[in-house]
Amino acid sequence: MGGLLLLICMIVSLIFTHRWSQRNKKGPKTWPFIGAAIEQLMNYDRMHDWLVQYLSKSKTVVVPMPFTTYTYIADPANVEHVLKTNFNNYPKGEVYHSYMEVLLGDGIFNADGELWRKQRKTASLEFASRNLRDFSTKVFREYALKLSTILNQTPFLNQEIDMQELLMRMTLDSICKVGFGVEIGTLAPNFPDNCFARAFDTANIIVTLRFIDPLWKIKKILNIGSEAQLDRSIKIIDDFTYSVIRRRKAEIEDAKKCGQQDKIKHDILSRFVGLGENNATDKSLRDVVLNFVIAGRDTTATTLSWAIYMVMTHAHVADKLYLELKTFEENRAKEENISLLQCDIEDPESFNQRIEQFSRLLNKDSLERLHYLHAVITETLRLYPAVPQDPKGILEDDVLPDGTKIKAGGMVTYVPYSMGRMEYNWGPDAASFIPERWFKDGILQNESPFKFTAFQAGPRICLGKDSAYLQMRMVLAILCRFYKFKLIPGHPVKYRMMTILSMKHGLKLTTEKRS
């Protein structure tokens, strides 16, 4: 009993001493051995806003956890130091790689060092390809029209729909067409089930949960719980992906034998297979394509969802955007010397024909003239970045520009979601949706990528930025020109905790046609 009493006293003393040492600390409450795990777990479903409350008081927040320490940063100077100045000290790291490897493999988003550099160089050349850009534009237009046609059907007019669900299906179909060169057909009025899409979503959610689940490795070894579910999902993903790779390799080989290289497709997979590199194994091709899909599907769909939500909850923005699109349409028709079709919005066929005519006026160059549309998308990304936080490993001890000391083996995470809401970054109206902030004297302005971090910055800045803007402009130009959206009363709009900032309950709304 005496020994037990002594142990209790020691534990109480340790807790008291630890808590006393934390009395002036800026950040969440921590405890011996478990750090801030309790508070972080309690706030898991609202973690991004949990970080906002701390980062608004301190530009750097240190959060000790049982097996590592997370340092969260929101100051552009610190972000530049991590993403550029001392870039080599902040790789994805072994911890992040171990969490994401099952889904991303050794693809560009999960690789470091020479492997990353090689993929980056190859990918940058491919993204600069005119053939790929023209193919992407054609595909993005095709699926934006497909979405519009669904919205134009009588069962969907003035009826509740989940716009995020439709956009997820649209971007999955379009990215699989651009990435794999295959039609998977999930965008249809009857919402057909697709095992690849379902498995992809499940895997994304579970690998995100690993970041705060200290037992995931045990569950993986025992093949139980979420890790067993993840294993089943990855098998479905791999079966689909490898079957497409084998089929595409055979198609390319046949085309070469017949001297019909001009018939080889322009999708990402075909282009990487066509490089003819000896080390382009099925596994490396699988990683390339899945990294592309996760980058281009969820990110674009969620940003479009938040953008539509912002537009329909800010009437003056909706009106201003509609006016820009209508003026654009009239001016482009004059340039092309064409007469705009007369449109009867009560006739679905007539309405579709008018939308198709409008879509033909949209290409990469003409879409870049829609400056207010660009500002709406960019302002959406400022407040609702597709990747709300991005962790990096720490190779060696370092000191951030603000004087914060960080230790090797920990993680440093820059937080785009918080950065967009910080008054010390954007002024007193930081929390407000104001597309006009992107103009100065009527001219569209850019911000430092270390301040506006939606596409990362430095050597790892997003290669697909232009492609993402192209698809988002294409879709929003068509939807906001010909449809008005209204949120279902009482529908909760909250984010879901996963790698990408999607809406937990979807985006339930009704549509109304515009002439």
Q: Which residues are documented as binding site for heme?
A: 462
Q: Is 400 in contact with 73 (CB distance < 8 Å)?
A: yes
Closest-CA residue to 469 (of 352, 337, 375): 375
Give 71's contacts (C-beta < 8 A, 6+ positions apart). 60, 61, 62, 63, 404, 406, 410, 411, 412, 413
Closest-CA residue to 495 (of 167, 193, 44, 159): 44
Residue 299 buriedness (CB in 10 A; 0-12 / 13-18 / 19+): buried
Going by DSSP bridges, is the β-strand pair 390-393/60-64 parallel, antiparallel, or unpaired?
A: unpaired
DSSP letter string over 32-70? TTTBTHHHHHHTGGGHHHHHHHHHTT-SEEEEE-SS-EE
Residues annotated within the binding site are: 462
Beta strands in 325-482 (DSSP E): 390-393, 398-399, 405-406, 411-414, 439-440, 443-444
| CB atoms near residue 245 (< 10 Å) | 21
Q: Using CA of residue 24, residue 27, residue 28, residue 30, what is the dihedral sign?
A: negative
